Amino acid sequence: MKSEDNGHAESSKKWLEDVRDGRLAREFETTALQGLQVVRAQKGSMLCNFTVPKAQSDEKGNWVAGAMAALIDDVGAAAIVSIVDRLHVSVSFDISFFSTAKIQEELEIEAYTLGNNGKLCSVEVRITRKTDGKLIALGKQWMLSATNVRESAVDGIDRVQLKLLNELKHISLGQ
């Protein structure tokens, strides 16, 4: 893993790996990041490799949208942590799905920050197929600094987000 930064990239890499390995996250996030490898962490961006595991697929072998959404959320958050070294709460989260990914397909996930005004950060996450570069999904989100939100509000948002992701994990792209 190559790391170039302002001192925060290494902590964002460690945070993402701790989430993946279950040291900082719930089972759903840990499962969604199973097999994620951080290739490069630098100020404002994160590059990862990922192979779609069978546990995250539907009956047709497609990667489920809920697992994809959790991965986009966490890799995007890691890109933001590489700038500000603190966690954020998603306040807007959009994903455009362009293609499916199958079990054992190798993917590249690239997240980069688009803007940061100290309170709000914007990040874009692109998931592409490694073999042909085809775009699988594009996620965009705005995140609010967790230091600007009451802790109880963060917990409430977390519960809503988890419920939504659990519902989304049953939705997949058909071919």
Return the pLDDT at 161.
56
Return the pLDDT at 116.
85
Q: Which tokens go with 110?
A: 């690239």
Q: Which tokens go with 118?
A: 């100290």
Return the pLDDT at 83.
85
Residue 81 has pLDDT above 50, yes or no: yes
Place of tokens 């390995």: 21
Task: Report pTM.
Answer: 0.75
Can you list the pairs that 162-165 forms with residues at least 24 positions away whose Cβ atoms lie under 8 Å? 162/26, 162/28, 165/28, 165/66, 165/69, 165/70, 165/73
- When the pLDDT of each residue in the chain is averaged and rounded to a whole number, the result is 79
Q: Which residues span the domain enclosing 6?
A: 2-168
Instruction: Specify the CATH number for the domain of residue 15.
Output: 3.10.129.10
Place of tokens 């699988």: 136
Instruction: Establish if 118 belongs to a structural domain.
Output: yes
Angle at 160 between CA 159 and CA 165, to 5 degrees: 100
Give the number of domains in the chain: 1
Instruction: Establish if 128 belongs to a structural domain.
Output: yes
Instruction: Establish if 164 belongs to a structural domain.
Output: yes
Instruction: Establish if 157 belongs to a structural domain.
Output: yes
Instruction: Establish if 175 belongs to a structural domain.
Output: no
3-class DSSP assignment, residue 110: strand
The model's confidence at residue 17, banded by pLDDT at 50, 70 and 90, is confident
Instruction: Establish if 38 belongs to a structural domain.
Output: yes
Instruction: Establish if 174 belongs to a structural domain.
Output: no
Summarize pLDDT for 131-158 with one digit per residue, the tens.
Answer: 999 999 999 999 887 654 444 444 444 5
Instruction: Establish if 173 belongs to a structural domain.
Output: no
Residue 96 has pLDDT above 50, yes or no: yes
Average pLDDT, integer, range 47-75 = 93
